């Protein structure tokens, strides 16, 4: 069995962060030490206690909470995010992405009094994600001045 870093070229300027408790062959983040850019892999929602993933707003909140936790493990905050790519799946009800539901979740974390920093962002409608119940996947890039 391969370890998360076996077979990868080692560069002391690049720190690779595996997904905690996983052997899935992707990294959660990569930090470039000279400018301290950190890239986070796409993050998806977790189900609630009843196993329901919820609507687009609920899934966006779930994803943002998971991103926030992953960033905290690296000593970062949501205020350090400079780029976000969002993948939204159309809802069964409308056949279209629920951009409004996404924005209702997103605006709880960005542009608030507690966290006023804004970021660059792309929102892309996709046919589906790896789990048919997921409506949202988000990846972010964080930067911090040294």
12-59 pLDDT, tens digit per residue, is 554 668 889 987 676 687 675 676 889 999 999 999 999 999 999 999
Domain limits of the chain?
14-143
pTM for this prediction: 0.80
Strands 120-125 and 81-88: parallel
User: pLDDT digits over 84-113, tens only?
Assistant: 999 999 999 999 999 999 999 999 998 889
- Rounded to 5 degrees, φ, ψ at 86 are -115, 135
Q: Is 32 exposed, middle or buried (0-12, 13-18, 19+ CB in 10 A)?
A: middle
- Rounded to 5 degrees, φ, ψ at 68 are -60, -45
- Residue 2 reports pLDDT greater than 80: no
Fold type of domain 14-143: 60s Ribosomal Protein L30; Chain: A; (3.30.1330)
């Amino acid at each position: 069995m391969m370890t998360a870093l076996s077979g990868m070229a080692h560069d002391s300027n690049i720190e690779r962060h595996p997904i905690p408790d996983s052997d899935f062959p992707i990294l959660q983040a990569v930090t470039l030490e000279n400018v301290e850019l950190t890239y986070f892999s796409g993050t998806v929602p977790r189900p609630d206690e009843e196993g329901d993933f919820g609507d687009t707003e609920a899934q966006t909140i779930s994803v943002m909470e998971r991103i926030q936790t992953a960033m905290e493990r690296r000593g970062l905050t949501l205020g350090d995010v400079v780029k976000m790519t969002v993948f939204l799946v159309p809802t069964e009800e409308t056949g279209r992405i629920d951009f409004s539901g996404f924005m209702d979740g997103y605006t709880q974390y960005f542009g608030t009094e507690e966290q006023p920093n804004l970021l660059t962002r792309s929102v892309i409608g996709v046919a589906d994600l790896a789990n048919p119940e997921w409506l949202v996947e988000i990846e972010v890039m964080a930067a911090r001045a040294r």
